[in-house]
A and B are shown apart, each in its own frame.
Chain A
Amino acid sequence: MLEVSNLACVRGDHRLFAGLSFSLSAGELMQVQGANGSGKTSLLRTLCGFIMPEAGEVCWRGNDIRELEEEYCAELVYLGHLNAIKDDLNALENLRINAGLAGCAIDDKRAVAALRRMGLLGKELLPVKVLSQGQRRRVALARLLVSDAPLWILDEPLAALDAGAVDLMQELIGEHLSNSGMLIFTTHQPLQVAGVEIRSLALS
């Protein structure tokens, strides 16, 4: 499904990685590992198409993502370091707008259900600026629940989450993979998904 061949990335004068090749098929989970500054985020952003690779190509279902453009975007959920939520809006508005930007209209019922599952019961109508860092992350992660895109690209999804939320994420990832989803992520915390082997990709 997702094939990366001979990928190279240069930021400024610094070569982060070169000759990187891997492929990911339905139901697979891949963790990108590496020290700080080894290019994990740059790799994920290249896979999203934000960064033009120095060499090599990223293919989705056999076609270069540069040619697919919007078709590829429809099958992808990306969550970066930044939560992409607005402080002035409440959790429900944030989720509905983010789902809208991702191309799907959801009703209030579905959005509220997603927020409750993320453990935000009673916080749906509070402005996000009064929530804690971990709760904001949960609002951002709720987007995963309302999307049916097969490819998830998550940059440090567990940052700021407590143990309960980490368990919940593992459960969500398990469900996503069993629906023949795919996931590429980075994390510095241990993550286990029942019945799935985590492939790892080391950047040096």
Chain B
Amino acid sequence: MNKLSLSSLLVLVIRRDLVLALRRRADVLITLIFFVMVVSLFPLGVGPEPEMLRKMASGVVWVAALLASMLSLGRMFSVDYQDGTLEQMLLVPQSLSVLVLGKILAHWMVSGLPLVLMAPVLGLQFGLPMQSLGVLMLGLLLGTPVLSMIGAVGAALTLGLRGGGVLVSLLVLPLCIPVLIFGSGAVEAAASGMNYASHLSLLAALLVLALVLTPWVTAQALRISME
């Protein structure tokens, strides 16, 4: 019998979660529609002055992305928990951390990546200049995986709890503040002609840190939750 290597385990988990997401497209679309809707409500609420909209665009897009990414966190492990697949996952003979990393990456592809691709369209709606759009997208590209990773820890800790969905947002949102600050800070810096590279570098550093730590922490949290 061929033993699976770590990389093929990673590919297997990502493919599995993507196939499952494809067969339940509604769950994927809800995140995206929520994101578009929240961002589009702001011009209606605060009025159509282009100068003000341009100024608040990055903050609005980032906060909406933060909220939208909270929506799907509850499902990250709970579906597998309910049908018993999670028990089998804990018995994986290679590495639970790698398996968790696969689940996080698949979650990001389904709920984070669409936000990154949609963001420039929404930015145009707010009259953001070309360069700011690029920085906004780049920031989201670096920041949304961090949101998925921090969210995974919260989702694993609140697994099986009553009202876990709300709890996970309360737990995770404060931890996402640095991502929000550097992400929207980068766009503001770009808009005012300053150097935005430092903000993006810090986001990238957060990404690397989360990539190293969160899969392992999530794996431990899952073991505790399953007891």
Contacts and interface: CB of A to CB of B under 8 A. Distances in A.
A84 interface: yes
Interface string A70-100: 1101101010111111111100010001101
Number of contact residues on B: which range applies? 20 to 34
B19 interface: yes
Contact of B84 (A51, A81, A148): A81
Contact of B92 (A48, A52, A73, A82): A73
Q: Chain B contact residues: over half helix, strand or loop, or mixed?
A: helix
Nearest to A97: B16
A74 B93 CA distance: 5
A101 interface: yes
A160 interface: no
A51, A98, A102 pick with most chain B CB within 10 angstroms: A102
Number of contact residues on A: which range applies? 20 to 34
Contact of B94 (A80, A84, A97, A103): A103
B8, B23, B87 pick with most chain A CB within 10 angstroms: B87
B23 A88 contact: yes
Contact of A50 (B9, B95, B227): B227
B91 A48 contact: yes
A78 B93 contact: no
B92 A102 contact: yes
A159 interface: no
Q: Chain A contact residues: over half helix, strand or loop, or mixed?
A: loop
Nearest to B94: A103
A97 B87 contact: no
Contacts of A98: 88
22 contacts: A48-B87, A48-B91, A50-B87, A74-B93, A78-B87, A78-B91, A82-B87, A83-B83, A86-B20, A87-B83, A88-B24, A100-B12, A101-B99, A102-B92, A103-B3, A103-B9, A103-B92, A103-B93, A103-B94, A105-B3, A105-B4, A148-B1
Contacts of B88: 78, 84, 98, 101-102
A88 B18 CA distance: 12
Given A70-B95, A102-B92, A105-B3, 4 more contacts: A84-B87, A89-B23, A97-B16, A104-B4
B2 interface: yes
Interface of A: 48, 50-52, 70-71, 73-74, 76, 78, 80-89, 93, 97-98, 100-106, 148
Contacts of A88: 20, 23-24
B9, B92, B95 pick with most chain A CB within 10 angstroms: B92
Given A78-B91, A89-B19, A105 B84 contact: no
B216 to A, nearest CB: 13
A73 B12 contact: no
Contacts of B91: 48, 73, 76, 78, 101-102
B11 to A, nearest CB: 10
A86 to B, nearest CB: 6
Interface string B5-16: 000110010001
Contacts of B95: 70
A52 B227 contact: yes
A89 B85 CA distance: 13
Contact of A86 (B9, B85, B87, B226): B85
A105 B79 CA distance: 24
Contacts of B82: 82
A4 to B, nearest CB: 18
A97 B9 CA distance: 10
